Amino acid sequence: MKKEKILINIEDLSDINNYKKIGINNFLFAVDYFSIGYKSFKLSEIKNIEGNKFLYINRILNSTDVDKLKELADEICIFDGIIFEDIAVYNIFKDKDILLIWNQSHFATNYSSINYWLNNVDSAIISNELTKLEINEILDKCNKNLVLNIFGKNPVMYSRRRLISNFNNNFNLYNDKNVILKEPITKNEFNAVEDDNGTFIFNNTYFNLIPYLNEFNNDKILYYLICANDLSFSEMVKYLNGKIDNTNDGFLNKKTIYKLGVKK
Amino acid sequence: MIELLSPAGDLEKLKFALMYGADAVYIGGQDYSLRANAKNFSREEIKSAVILAHNLKKKVYVTVNIVFHNEELYGLKEYLTYLDSINVDGIIASDMTVIKLHSELNLKLELHISTQASISNYETALFYKKLGAKRLVLARECSKEDIERIKKSTNLDLECFIHGAMCTSISGKCVLSNYCTNRDSNRGGCAQICRWEFEYLKDNEKITNIPFSMTPKDLNMVPFISDMIKVGVNSFKIEGRMRSIYYIATVILVYRRLIDKIVNKTLTDEYTIYCLNILNRCANRESTPQFFDKLPGISEQYYLGRQELSNQDFLGLVLDYKDGIATIEQRNNFSVGTKVQFFGPNIETFNYEITEIMNEDNELIDVARHPQMITKLRVPTRLEKYDMMRLKVFDI
């Protein structure tokens, strides 16, 4: 894996220099108010950081939010790129000098739709709920290089509701807004995080594609995306060097079904 | 234009929806629809549905609203061309491949952008307008102000859900089902994991023994239909392609009459309360407005192990009425002395106490206890085929 192709989500600004020392120079930052689920920053905190700086705008926006985003457009354009969820972001920045990466969660699942977007933006992040076979077909048939998520807690739900506060308030519990939800039958654990703009839920086991990287056409990959949620720099480096403990391979080897009783 | 839009899981439900006052129905084909495990419509049935609806001057929209994986792309062009050739009025889609094919194939059917696209601001709405959308099905999270601004900016037809189950998440932004059951929620396999209960933990310790739940109550927009009309909503959409004919008939009739009374300026507070009572009883769930007037809080969701007990309110379906005798197919037990209510698309709802019951052979019986048995009741008020008899719980 070429380190210069890694794009890593930053939760602690003091990690940046450490990552630079091992050859990682592309950084992704969640932005206050416009991001959800991740540790976010004010634009003023990150604008002077050296390296390639991408903003992660992953909220679904209402019209007032769109107005606020427009007011910040010039300030945002000093960054290198935006990874966006809401299409309003594309509409606002499409004619500006900033790299745009489409990341409509769970929607980048076929080469045809991704190619539509690649006619309009610079790249797209391939969705996580796909098999190796599906990802490779997408990489082969897409017209530009793509971003592949290779490590992190995968997002599994985004709600506009304050699900944790509602529950805590209903039962008069201390309102900790970062909790684990464990499904008792399947034993799946999810990490739910809430702020004023809603609740964001991650699968609590780290997804790890790194051991499979040689099974993909790496020439078609623009960036390897890493979201090192809650992991320190030193822990993350262990995974980059091949550690696989406490990780899973998501759907890489497991095709999802949707019609019960029908063999696809 | 104000349209009452009903779900229809199969041809029978479609007939009831149109009969009971829907202006249009949305249905799913056997492929590419987000209710993959509903009965859905074969191609021939879609054709029949369109003919039936058009004969009544009503419309049929077909959901092509899965998020496609590579393998589903094959056959899509041919399917869309087929839908166009049989005069389907519109497709409901969110995947960009469907949206671009609508334009490339020069289809005459309307393109409606699904609520899966999470449209909740005017810029996103303008994006889809540019791609040829005739109608936007807005995100359920839209407030009154959001809807108003989108309407003013786009002047497109706007469709909003007004009744039925809610996703806990923003529609399309949930793959809990994939992770817990391997069933792909965005291709119609959702196992509704958000309605399950969870252990609630922090640092590997239980925060409480109370199971965590996040299930929203159903949506019910009865108090705000008038406001929705004012801000420019055109199509009022009921959720529930997997619901029964009784549910469809009840909900559609309530909203049909409510909308008509609003338009005719004859709506009373009493009728509004009656609507709310009937709707809450019909679904066995509480229902409430959600995002239109506020951000939903603790009162808009359920806690603890709530059970959805089905009631037995639907007593019978009228098959015939002649000389004061109604022939009724039994759906739940009723007996002499049961207080019932008849309702139907062309009658005023009325109360009635059963005084005698005859079986198919005109023999007097005390109780109709066999499912789908044919009974005859002496009912002085004229009924029509497909009217329904329910237990009287609320006064009219």
Beta bridge partners of B325: B322, B378
How far apart are alpha carbons B323 and A239 in whole angstroms? Answer: 82
Total length of chain A: 264
* Number of Cβ atoms within 10 Å of the Cβ of A158: 24
Q: Is the pLDDT of residue A263 over 50?
A: no
User: Pick from B69, B188, B208: which is nearest to A109 by CB?
Assistant: B69
CB–CB of A87 and B123 under 8 A?
yes
User: In B, which residues are within 8 Å of A134 by CB distance?
Assistant: 69-71
CA distance B53 to chain A (A): 28
* Number of Cβ atoms within 10 Å of the Cβ of A172: 7
Write the pLDDT tens digit of every residue in A140-193: 999 999 999 999 999 999 999 999 999 999 999 999 999 999 999 999 999 999
Torsions phi, psi of B115, nearest 5?
A: -60, -20
State the best of A85, A156, A260, A262 to mutate against chain B, taking most chain B CBs within 10 Å. A156
Report B:30-59 residues touching A (Cβ under 8 A). Answer: 36-37
Torsions phi, psi of B174, nearest 5?
A: -145, 125
- For residue B261, the model assigns a pLDDT of 97
User: In A, which residues are within 8 Å of B96 by CB distance?
Assistant: 112-113, 116-117
- For residue B305, the model assigns a pLDDT of 62
Chain A's closest residue to B149, CA to CA, is A63
Q: What is the DSSP secondary structure assignment for residue A241, as one 8-state letter?
A: T
- For residue A257, the model assigns a pLDDT of 87
- For residue B54, the model assigns a pLDDT of 98
Which stretches within chain B are classed as H helix?
Answer: 11-19, 43-55, 76-85, 96-104, 122-130, 144-154, 176-181, 225-231, 245-263, 269-283
Q: How does strand B287-288 pair with strand B347-353? A: unpaired
Chain B's closest residue to A186, CA to CA, is B180
CB–CB of B199 and A107 under 8 A?
no
User: In A, which residues are within 8 Å of B32 by CB distance?
Assistant: none
User: Pick from A90, A113, A258: which is nearest to B95 by CB?
Assistant: A113
Q: Chain B contact for A72, CB < 8 A?
A: no
User: In B, which residues are within 8 Å of A138 by CB distance?
Assistant: 70
Helix (H, G, I), strand (E, B) or coil at A53: strand
Q: Chain B contact for A249, CB < 8 A?
A: no
Torsions phi, psi of B303, nearest 5?
A: -130, 165
CB–CB of B182 and A257 under 8 A?
yes
Write the pLDDT tens digit of every residue in A80-124: 999 999 999 999 999 999 999 999 999 999 999 999 999 999 999
Q: Percent of chain B beyond pLDDT 70?
A: 99
- ipTM for the complex shown: 0.96
CB–CB of A117 and B169 under 8 A?
no
Q: Is the pLDDT of residue A264 over 50?
A: no
Say which residue the tokens 């926006």 belong to: A61
CB–CB of B296 and A201 under 8 A?
no
Give the orientation angle of helix B76-85 with respect to helix B96-104, to 10 degrees.
50
Low-confidence stretches of chain B (pLDDT beneath 70)? 305-309
CA distance A129 to chain B (A): 8
Q: Chain A contact for B118, CB < 8 A?
A: yes
Total length of chain B: 396
- For residue B383, the model assigns a pLDDT of 98
Report A:16-55 residues touching B (Cβ under 8 A). Answer: none
Q: Chain B contact for A187, CB < 8 A?
A: no
State the best of B30, B32, B69 to mutate against chain A, taking most chain A CBs within 10 Å. B69
CB–CB of A179 and B200 under 8 A?
yes
User: Pick from B73, B120, B208: which is nearest to A61 by CB?
Assistant: B120
Write the pLDDT tens digit of every residue in A41-62: 999 999 999 999 999 999 999 9
The answer to whether the beta carbons of residues B365 and B378 sit under 8 Å apart is no
Q: Percent of chain A beyond pLDDT 90?
A: 95
Say which residue the tokens 């209710």 belong to: B35
CB–CB of A256 and B201 under 8 A?
no
User: In A, which residues are within 8 Å of B126 by CB distance?
Assistant: 91
User: In A, which residues are within 8 Å of B123 by CB distance?
Assistant: 66, 87-88, 91-92
How far apart are alpha carbons B109 and B285 in whole angstroms? Answer: 36
State the best of B212, B292, B300 to mutate against chain A, taking most chain A CBs within 10 Å. B212
Name the token pair of B185: 């929620």
Beta-carbon contacts of residue B74 (< 8 Å; ≥ 6 apart): none
User: Pick from A107, A117, A156: which is nearest to B176 by CB?
Assistant: A156
Report B:293-332 residues touching A (Cβ under 8 A). Answer: 295-298, 300-301, 303
